[in-house]
Amino acid sequence: MTFKSEIVFVRVLFPFMTGIVCAYLFGKGNLITACLIANVLLLCYLLFINIFYKKIKAYNFKGATGVVFYIFCFALGGLLCLLNTQSFRRDYYANQPYDYLKVWVNGEPQLTNNILRFEVEVSSAYQNQKPKFATGKLLIALKVDSLRPVKLNYGDELIIASKYLPVEPSYNPAEFDFKAWLASKNIYQQTFINQDHLVKLRSIAGNPIIKYAIEERKKQIRIYRQLINNDEAFAVASTLVLGYRADLSKETLAAYSKTGTIHALSVSGSHIAIIFFLLNSMLS
C-alpha cells in the first residue's frame, strides 16, 4: 500500500509542470508581473505559516495550506516558463524596429543545396547607427555564393540586416509543426538573406566546450566521408552515430517516416550503449 507521504515528489511536480504547460500554451508577456506578485504573496504566506506554525495552530487548517502550496507550485512553474520565453522580454529584438543586428552563431551551420541554415543569438541591435542591447534567437537561411562561399562556424560574430518574418504555422493537419518545434527552442523569427548582406566580424562568442564538441564531430564526419563511398549510407551513418542530418535526403526521411522508424535517426542513449558494447567487444 502506497501512502501520500511516499509520493511527495510527484504531488509537487504535477502542479509545477501544469503551470509550465499552461504558461506555454496561453502565456502572454503582460502576465509576468501578475504572476510574480502572486508568487511573492503565496511564498510569504507559506513562510508565515512555517514560522508561526504552533503559535497560530496551523495544523487546524493544514488542508487549506496544502492547497495554497499547490497553487504556489503552479504559479512558480508558470512564472519560470514566462521568464524563459524570450519573446516576452522588453529587450527582445523583434519588439522594436532596428536597422542592423549583431548576432553570433550558436549552432553548427548546415549546408544543403547552396543554402546554409543556422541559428543565431542576438547580442545587440543598431538604430540610427547607435547600438542598443537586444536579445533573442533567429533562424537564418543564407544563400551562399558558389564561387566564393563564406565559411561560418559556431561562435562567429556577424552583422546582418534587421529584416525577418515570423515563422509560419503548418497549414496541413498532418504536416510537421515547424513553428511549434522552433518555439520550443525560443525561435519565433526567421530570415532569408544573401551572402552579400552579411558581415563577419570575429569568432569569440559561445561555449568553448560546445565549440570543441562541434569541431570533433566535424573531424569524425570527414573520416566517415573517406570510409563510406555511398552517399545515402554515409548520410544515415552520420545521422545515427553523430546526429548530423545535413546530408540526409528528403527521400530517406520520407521512407523512415512512412515506415514509422523515424525515431531511429535520433541519437539516443541506447545507440551510444550499443556502439560502446560493440567497440568494447571488438577491441577487448
Query: Can you give the three-state secondary structure of the chain, one letter per residue?
Result: CCCHHHHHHHHHHHHHHHHHHHHHHHCCCCHHHHHHHHHHHHHHHHHHHHHCCCCCCHHHHHHHHHHHHHHHHHHHHHHHHHHCCHHHCCCEHHHCCCCEEEEEECCCCEEECCEEEEEEEEEEEEECCEEEECECEEEEEEECCCCCCCCCCCCEEEEEECCCEECCCCCCCCCCCHHHHHHCCCEEEEEEEEHHHEEEEEECCCCHHHHHHHHHHHHHHHHHHHHCCCHHHHHHHHHHHHCCCCCCCHHHHHHHHHCCCHHHHCCCHHHHHHHHHHHHHHHC
**Which residue has better confidence, 174 or 200?**
200
Q: What is the pLDDT of residues 224-253, one digit of tens each?
A: 888 888 877 777 777 777 777 766 666 776
Q: What is the pLDDT of residues 123-137, one digit of tens each?
A: 899 988 888 999 999
Domains in the chain with CATH codes: 4-84 (no CATH), 93-203 (2.40.50), 208-283 (no CATH)
pTM of the model: 0.71
Residue 38 has pLDDT above 90, yes or no: yes
Q: pLDDT value at position 284?
A: 67
